[in-house]
């Protein structure tokens, strides 16, 4: 699945939609979509089903979920700029499914800000390393590895809690650092040369252009 189904006009239309919501002060936190106002996901798809990111824009649901995490965590004034910033960072015609494994790898192993730099308990360190090793095989991860990788969110939650406490103690803006790493993962996606693709059972994109 290629981002924006290899269609630059679809990306431009989504950016126009998000910028329109920003200018109309219709971007809000803690609510997917209601009364023409919503969060990052809601303002993009005009609904609350993040899977529509894949069906309507060819974007991995993990891009949506990661973006939403940062959107809901930043102060509102900063959060309002995120939808356009994130979509602008995504190249047209690439496989965005690799964003989550790459971001995970950075979050775990970065020599300055990685989770392994923190004083974590040994079983959490072991889990982080095992999941990172599994994600290194992406997209050729097998079923057994996929089940093991399902522990990643729990491991991330444990480690993120430790990261937040360490950041607060050391007065570091770790959230902003993580956000810029996420944007860099998006920008560095390799362009995939491919023939025009046919996507079955996908809703029409005509309403996006309207």
Q: What pLDDT, in 10s, does the model give residues 86-121?
A: 999 999 999 998 888 888 888 888 888 888 887 777
pTM, 2 dp = 0.79
Place of tokens 């994109």: 205
Place of tokens 């599994």: 134
At 174 the three-state DSSP class reads: helix
Report how far apart, in Å, the C-alpha atoms of 139 and of each of 6, 47, 136, 191 are: 20, 29, 9, 16
Cβ contacts of residue 82 below 8 Å, gap of 6+? 40, 67, 70, 71, 74, 179
Q: What pLDDT, in 10s, does the model give residues 38-88?
A: 999 999 999 989 889 999 999 999 899 999 999 998 999 999 999 999 999
Chain center to CA of 73: 13
Domains in the chain, number: 2
Instruction: Identify whether 54 is part of a domain.
Output: yes
Instruction: Identify whether 207 is part of a domain.
Output: no
117 plus 73 within the same structural domain: no
């Amino acid at each position: 699945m290629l981002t924006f189904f290899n269609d630059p006009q679809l990306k431009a239309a989504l950016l126009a939609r998000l910028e329109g919501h920003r200018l109309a002060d219709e971007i809000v936190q803690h609510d997917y979509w209601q009364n023409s106002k919503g969060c990052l996901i809601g303002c993009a798809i005009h609904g609350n089903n993040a899977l529509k990111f894949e069906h309507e824009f060819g974007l991995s649901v993990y891009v949506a979920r990661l973006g939403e995490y940062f959107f809901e965590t930043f102060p509102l004034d900063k959060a309002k700029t995120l939808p356009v910033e994130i979509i602008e960072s995504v190249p047209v015609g690439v496989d965005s499914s690799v964003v989550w494994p790459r971001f995970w790898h950075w979050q775990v192993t970065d020599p300055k800000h990685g989770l392994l730099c923190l004083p974590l308990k040994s079983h959490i360190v072991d889990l982080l390393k095992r999941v990172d090793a599994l994600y290194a095989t992406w997209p050729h991860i097998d079923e057994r590895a996929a089940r093991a990788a399902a522990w990643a969110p729990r491991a991330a939650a444990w480690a993120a809690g430790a990261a937040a406490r360490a950041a607060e103690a050391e007065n570091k803006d770790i959230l902003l650092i993580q956000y810029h790493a996420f944007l860099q993962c998006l920008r560095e996606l390799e362009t995939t040369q491919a023939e025009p693709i046919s996507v079955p059972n996908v809703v029409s994109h005509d309403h996006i252009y309207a």
